[in-house]
Amino acid sequence: MVASAMLGGGIGPAGWVLNAQVPGAYSRTDPVAHLAELAASYGLDGPGVGMLTAASVARTMRRDDEGVSVSATVGLRVPTWASSPGGASDPELAPMRLDGTSAPAWTPGTINIVVAVPVPLSDAALVNAVVTATEAKTQALLEAGYPCTGTASDAICVAAAAGGTQEIFAGPRSTWGSRVARAVHAAVHAGALDYTETLRTL
């Protein structure tokens, strides 16, 4: 498994993945300890991966593609270009009511993606799968009308089966990488469109 998560990040074995929702005004300064507490409250023990998000986990988008399964929570209150001038502020989406007044404060979000691949992947292929998934995420956002590469706090986890012969490729034109790309694209695109509809109701 490979993950950019605060809890259990890096490459290594893990038995569970937790994507926990927190308030937009999250103020704890010990997120790793908090994630460990949350995992324990769900009966999760042993090595695992924990991520935090202010996006609604009730609106998780799940998509499958020929054995690959993807879950994504998509929050885009502060869309971000990965490369921007130093010191520049990211634009914050501030939806307006039809009468022109500001809408109430709404929790910011992030994009957390969990990918499950049913075959073993080498360490290099795991990293390659992260690249492929990130490219697919950005493509989905652009196609959904969001001019950004994501948000500044996005996280990803790619879990692969253990044991057996490892696949060594996971780029977008490889057998498993192409499936990762399509499933991530579908989940993030659906999540971005859902987020747009949510903003319109505020």
Whether 108 shows a pLDDT value over 70: the answer reads no
Whether 74 shows a pLDDT value over 80: the answer reads yes
User: Which pTM was predicted?
Assistant: 0.90
CB 123 within 8 A of CB 129: no
For residue 139, what are the β-bridge partners? none
- Give the per-residue pLDDT at 6: 93
List the alpha helices (DSSP H) in 28-174: 31-41, 123-143
Quote the Cα angle for 41-47-49, to 5°: 75
- How does pLDDT run across 161-194, given as a tens digit for each residue? 999 999 999 999 999 999 999 999 999 999 999 9
- How does pLDDT run across 27-55, given as a tens digit for each residue? 788 999 999 999 999 999 999 999 999 88
Which of 85, 101, 102, 111 is closest to 195 using CA atoms?
Answer: 111
Residues 6+ apart with CB under 8 A from 37: none
- Give the per-residue pLDDT at 124: 98
